[in-house]
């Protein structure tokens, strides 16, 4: 039988909704890796793993997509729909999963972005980046403020963009394709979210 304390804790967890956004999808593949890896597929794989961890902890999770379909046909409308969902749902935190790319193939590492003018976003980014450092990824970069990304600019609740790694780096692309490495990433992201929620 659950005690009143446990019931209260359960109710508090269920009140804390988190949105997980798998970047891209449908006609929009996102970045394409050196070996042909499609970012949209990688994002969804990792997001589903994060979702599992959060649900096991009793958190209510809303996914922007659960299969290879965007929220609209055009990239602009798709982003608008994602932003609309976040603003209407008003989650405690929204986390958008992405993969990075850069002209220099030697660049690699995991990095969390937040909206420049969001103190809560910065706090959340620090906590998630620190949690990612604890799961022994290939490399952790520093959190980074941004005031140009549409999803960061147009959302009211705190939103993070987690760039899990660089598909332009062949070694990191290979790691990102491994289930065990995806699990590490998911564990780090989920632990960071739970720490931010103080659970």
- What pLDDT, on the 0 to 100 scale, is given for residue 181? 97
Q: Give the span between the Cα atoms of 149 and 198, in whole angstroms.
A: 27
* Between 53 and 7, the higher pLDDT residue: 53
Domains of the chain by start residue, with CATH: 16-196 (3.40.630.40)
Please provide the size of the chain in residues.
199
Q: Indicate the burial class of 6 (C-beta count within 10 angstroms; 0-12, 13-18, 19 or more).
A: exposed
CB-hemisphere CA count at 13 Å for 108? 15
pLDDT in tens, 49-88: 999 999 999 999 999 999 999 899 899 999 999 999 999 9
CB 22 within 8 A of CB 94: no
What is the pLDDT, as a whole number, of residue 11? 46
> Mean of the pLDDT values across residues 105-110?
97
């Amino acid at each position: 039988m659950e005690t009143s304390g446990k019931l209260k804790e359960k109710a508090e967890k269920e009140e804390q909704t988190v949105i997980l956004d798998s970047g891209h999808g449908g006609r929009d593949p996102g970045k394409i890796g050196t070996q042909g890896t499609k970012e949209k597929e990688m994002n969804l794989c990792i997001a589903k793993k994060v979702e599992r961890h959060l649900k096991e902890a009793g958190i209510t999770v809303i996914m922007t997509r659960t299969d290879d379909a965007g929220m609209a046909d055009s990239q602009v409308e798709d982003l608008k729909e994602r932003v609309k969902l976040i603003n209407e749902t008003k989650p405690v935190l929204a986390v958008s999963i992405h993969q990075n790319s850069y002209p220099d193939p030697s660049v690699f590492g995991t990095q969390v972005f937040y909206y420049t003018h969001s103190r809560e976003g910065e706090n959340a980014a620090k906590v998630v980046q620190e949690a990612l450092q604890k799961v022994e990824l290939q490399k952790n970069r520093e959190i980074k403020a941004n005031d140009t990304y549409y999803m960061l600019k147009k959302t009211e609740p705190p939103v993070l963009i987690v760039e899990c790694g660089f598909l332009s780096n062949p070694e990191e692309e290979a790691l990102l394709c491994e289930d065990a490495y995806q699990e590490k990433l998911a564990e780090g992201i989920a632990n960071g979210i739970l720490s931010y929620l103080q659970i």
